[in-house]
A and B are shown apart, each in its own frame.
Chain A
């Protein structure tokens, strides 16, 4: 069964504002029966103040589609239209304490219904430029369409590229075969050789893997591993530390005091200096993000894992992951060590 938060379940079993709204003056319909989910959002807007006086919904769809609809109506009631339009699908997911990656599209549908309803109220046309494909990377909830578009737009040709641009493949790496399939399709159109055909014969870990593991973003080996052989005790200590990080289903994803694993690079500066530099990078990129109505906040530093929160407009735009890898790059240049940026979401998203 899906890993639904209490809040999702609660909104599913007791949806708020379900049913028709007779006096609606803005109606947004999205989805279809054959797609498997559909939503009608009905708004009663005060024409003088453009405030949403009431909102109701009717939804055909899975548990999280219904819960997302319910959450959406709760969020927007009492807001002005402009305020309501600033609600992102991530806000809907956050309100529900997170949605599983496979279900994020349900929050997207809510956001689209809202845009459609506001457009309908204003007598405008609203067109859906949003397209989604099958989910490829579960770690980062990246779908096929986004990967393919990014490959085309940026002329990418390796899984590593795709990871840098979209983040897809940067986690457990289980999706690398799927990413390669998409790459090969595009490469074939371009008349280029498929991924993996230029393997060095010396690379014994061939089959499917085109990049040595230690170069794939998000999968790295400690800088010390190559230099000195680890003792059995070191290995055991590492393993214990790693085990202690495995969380039981209902513990929060980001522990308050995350144990530092032996995987971190040797500190070449003291921790305070290191933290200052990390903060400096964050400060440096903020103006850029704020220009796009977004922001970034440092949450926690846990060895080589740097937890940040992207807020505002950048949380869910398709550029979010590009933003992430951009910041990660700058961070690594500044610190001279491998770090991984981890976007902090709500606790229930079991990433």
Chain B
């Protein structure tokens, strides 16, 4: 069966050109870039090239602002922990309720260690209140960490403006741009962003490679100390093959940027129109006018996300769901909860995330298959009868 991959926010297919670029670094180009001989030298030059390719994608001023890490999560941790260590008198963090666990779980842990964390709330469309943000910035704030684009809904936060506001109060600004990099143009040298995280596998590069962009002059304390790799900012022998690959992936992403914002967007919009015109009690979550071009998160009321995914999977369609039915306390995703999604829909969200690999035929097939799946599951549900909800008549006393 032809399979259709619409889970590109989880991870992307490594571009074949990227694979080709990285392979020699497992075989003949095996040198350690720190070594003072030809083996090392060649790899060192390849890393320098990759740094430049990423610098170009981010619009960074210097290539030395690119620090390679092992993943997006490491970049996030490095940024936040560095800010705390470098400014020990500042004991507060500002972030949002809808960050990725890479930031949220760390912040929750830091709260236990005695730091104060302010989690900015979002409205029904997943938007922040900048007045609330302004009021929280203070001399106590060690760092603001706000994601550029949300991984579940694709909604953008106004990070450029928020970085300006932070700088005006003398506060350091970090953004988790793991979902945004490669999908929208960036020009960091003309921004006030001090640190930015990205992850290779979200832009058709390999898994297990990430970057922390670190603006020149930003106070910094490394997470890993040891050798002088990455100028002592991230010790440990470089993952040369993956770094070279990420450089190539960045170059390709820059070339595909236009396509992403025209063709991929058109397919995404077509998918949404196709589904919503056939399925009732369904709606788009997040901010429809201000989000990633590749992401669509649709809530289907009165059914549960995982069962939709299992059905889709049977038809060879891969998507994802924010609902995590994993224990007695069945919490919908923290993002949906923060947006205050109606309880009828909070468990039934499905995320479709496209990429430059997505074809018209893929989208057409989903539009044909999905309405039947929704119908079938609703027929099974005690909350549904004759194409409409019946929630009044089903109200167990034992919830």
B interface with A by C-beta (< 8 Å): 302-307, 310-311, 313-314, 323, 325-332, 343-344, 346-347, 379-383, 391, 394-399
Contacts and interface: CB of A to CB of B under 8 A. Distances in A.
Interface string A116-137: 1000000000111001111100
Interface stretch (A57-65, A89-97, A230-238): A57-65
B399 A32 contact: yes
A261 B357 CA distance: 48
Interface in A1-33: 1-2, 9, 12-13, 15, 18-19, 29-33
Contact of A66 (B307, B323, B344, B391): B307
Contact of A60 (B304, B310, B311, B329): B304
Given A62-B306, A143-B328, A40 B394 contact: yes
Contacts of A132: 327-329
Interface residues of A, number: 43
Interface of A: 1-2, 9, 12-13, 15, 18-19, 29-40, 58-63, 65-66, 102-103, 105, 112, 116, 126-128, 131-135, 143, 145
B394 A38 contact: yes
Contacts of A29: 382, 394-398
Grouping DSSP codes into helix (H, G, I), strand (E, B) and loop, the B interface class, with mixed when no group exceeds half, is loop
A108 to B, nearest CB: 8
22 contacts: A29-B395, A31-B399, A32-B399, A33-B391, A34-B343, A36-B330, A36-B332, A37-B325, A59-B380, A59-B381, A60-B381, A60-B382, A62-B304, A62-B305, A62-B325, A102-B327, A105-B328, A112-B398, A116-B396, A116-B398, A126-B398, A133-B329
A60 B326 contact: no
B393 to A, nearest CB: 10
Nearest to A127: B398
Given A35-B399, A63-B306, 20 more contacts: A1-B313, A9-B310, A12-B307, A12-B310, A19-B379, A29-B397, A31-B396, A33-B347, A58-B382, A59-B382, A60-B382, A61-B307, A62-B304, A65-B304, A116-B398, A128-B398, A132-B327, A135-B327, A143-B327, A143-B328
Contacts of A12: 307, 310
A58 B396 CA distance: 13
Contacts of A40: 382, 394
B307 A30 contact: no
Nearest to B385: A20
Contact of A36 (B304, B397, B398): B304
Contacts of A128: 398
